[in-house]
Amino acid sequence: MNLLEMTDSTAVRKTAMTRKLTLGGVTKAYPVYQVRLDCLYYNDRNDRIATWLTQYNQNPENTPFEQLEQEAFNQVIERFIIESNPGAIEKTKNNIALVNQREPGVVLCDGRIIDGNRRFTCLRMIHQNDPEVNYFETVILDRQSASNQKQIKMLELSIQHGEEQRVEYNLIDLTIGAYHDIAETKLLTIQEYAESTGESAADVKKRLDIAELVIEFLAFMGIPKQYHAARELQVYSLFNEALPLLKRCETAQDREELKITIFNNILMNSIVDQRKFIRNIKKMMDENVYAPFIRRENRIHTKIAAARAQTQFRNVQDMEQFARAHADLAEDLAAAMDRSIVNMKKVQSRGKPSQSISKSLSALMDIDTDVIDILSKPERENLIRQLTKLNHTVAELNKVCLDEQPAEDLTEENIIRSGAASWEYPLVYCLNANKIITENAFGLVFSAMRYMAGQSESAVVRMFFADSDGDPLSNECEVTVSADQNVTVHFTLYAAAADLNACRLHIRTAAMNTDEAWLTLPFRINMKRGEGVS
């Protein structure tokens, strides 16, 4: 079939319209024709369609795609196009039904659609209810599908990445399409692809790197070339963010371990926020706490690999079922990340005390002592009180630095210091700091101890639970804790706590300034042992 030889028939009618195209470096206006819908067929080489076809071919009950008759061929692809973006299809269909087709497509003379798959789909849908709508307005290029595939592909890329907005494409489709055209078939070079899409060669190269990660991921999962699975799992952004970290790895083994860590966390559905997940790994690398993290991940990988030895994945649904069946391993992955984040924050905070003291010394040295002579009596008394507090604070910090604990039965794990600036208050501590939280409502027991002369009998403290980022997990409680007396404080955690393995109790005295740092105690969460969070 050659559509150009069918002009002025009931199948093909020439119109007065034209459309400008650039082909082979030459731009000119091409005539637009009305072509009957049954004379056209979808372009299965289109990037957006090609990845959907992997899903069709996965089902052994389906007739091999290449053996389908033209209408059956069109019906399969039509279904994929509708499912890929039903909202956009409905919008375009309503627009065409209201004002007719406004933008001509581009087809080859054998009927293959190069540009206009969505418009063709909408016209087919309208035709089902209104047989009078039976033509697709399009340029007809005097080329067959088998001739000069390179030039045709460059034209397709130029139209669909330039005149249409590339955001209409799923990024996995774009990525795998570029890999197919450049790396697999070698139809185009990186430079030719970049020129056709209006991108830089560096951007295209990066897309190929992401495609290689997608291919490795699918092979790792045992579902090679099921590109629709990568689209369903929405891994593009994660792999895009991971590329700089992989380049930081010094050896091939380091890169492999990081990739496996990322793949396992995708499989076990333990990544809540992709950007945050990668950002935390980057921070670990920056703070030199990455090695312990990857060792923990490697140990968990051994367990996951052992469990996977009994399972063969066929699709994303099998992967999701595996993750549900091995929720304990997913919890291990989340706990490994949480623990590493805590360690990282400890490393980050080590230099802060000396930095604070250095700033304080600088501020003290800036005081003009001549001003003291002209202070009023109340001002001078207030200054003396502040200096006395400062002396006590320094003495207390010295004790901490020299490991001079106030009592042998108190350890760093259960002491909550009420703040160096609040030396006049007793030391507040938790009697059941090792408690594992198993339900949303529970109580903790607190007491206090005076460790310096002149301290008050009690302290008013405020406390609440928070996640590793400091976001509240409970309402704030205010309670008076007295020396040598126990008081139970009741907490109710928010629903978000049910998905966590750990949290921290934030506490400070009510007398502390609002800009003073909260001090914290770590707690483990295991809602499986209890009723969970409502």
DSSP annotation of 101 = -
Rounded distance between C-alpha atoms, residue 279 and residue 346, angstroms:
17
DSSP class per residue in 182-237: IIIS--S-HHHHHHHHT--HHHHHHHHHHHHHHHHHHHHTT-TT-HHHHHHHT-HH
Would strands 415-416 and 113-115 be described as parallel, antiparallel, or unpaired? unpaired
DSSP class per residue in 332-343: HHHHHHHHHHHH
Rounded distance between C-alpha atoms, residue 466 and residue 505, angstroms:
6
Domain ranges in the chain are 3-246, 247-350, 356-401, 415-529
**pLDDT tens by residue, the chain, 534 residues:** 799 999 888 999 999 999 998 776 788 899 999 999 999 999 888 777 877 787 787 788 888 888 889 999 999 999 988 988 898 899 999 999 999 998 999 999 999 999 999 999 999 999 999 999 999 999 999 877 656 778 778 888 887 765 544 445 678 988 998 999 999 989 999 999 998 888 899 999 999 999 999 999 999 999 998 898 998 899 999 999 999 999 999 999 999 999 999 999 999 999 989 999 999 999 999 888 899 899 999 999 999 999 999 889 999 999 999 999 999 999 999 888 988 888 787 776 665 666 666 667 667 766 777 777 788 888 877 787 777 777 767 766 666 665 544 433 444 444 444 333 355 677 778 888 778 999 999 999 998 877 666 678 888 888 999 887 777 899 889 999 998 789 999 999 998 888 899 998 888 877 665 444 457 788 999 986 444 443
Q: Are 63 and 72 in contact (CB under 8 A)?
A: yes
Q: For the packed helices 70-84 and 47-58, what is the interaxial angle rounded to 10 degrees?
A: 110
Residue type, 182: I
Count Cα atoms within 13 angstroms, Cβ side, for 235.
30
Rounded distance between C-alpha atoms, residue 159 and residue 178, angstroms:
15
Reduced to 3 states, what is the DSSP secondary structure of residue 125?
A: helix
Q: Which fold has domain 415-529?
A: Immunoglobulin-like (2.60.40)
Q: Which of 521, 473, 471 is nearest to 497 (CA)?
A: 473
Q: Are 79 and 125 in contact (CB under 8 A)?
A: no
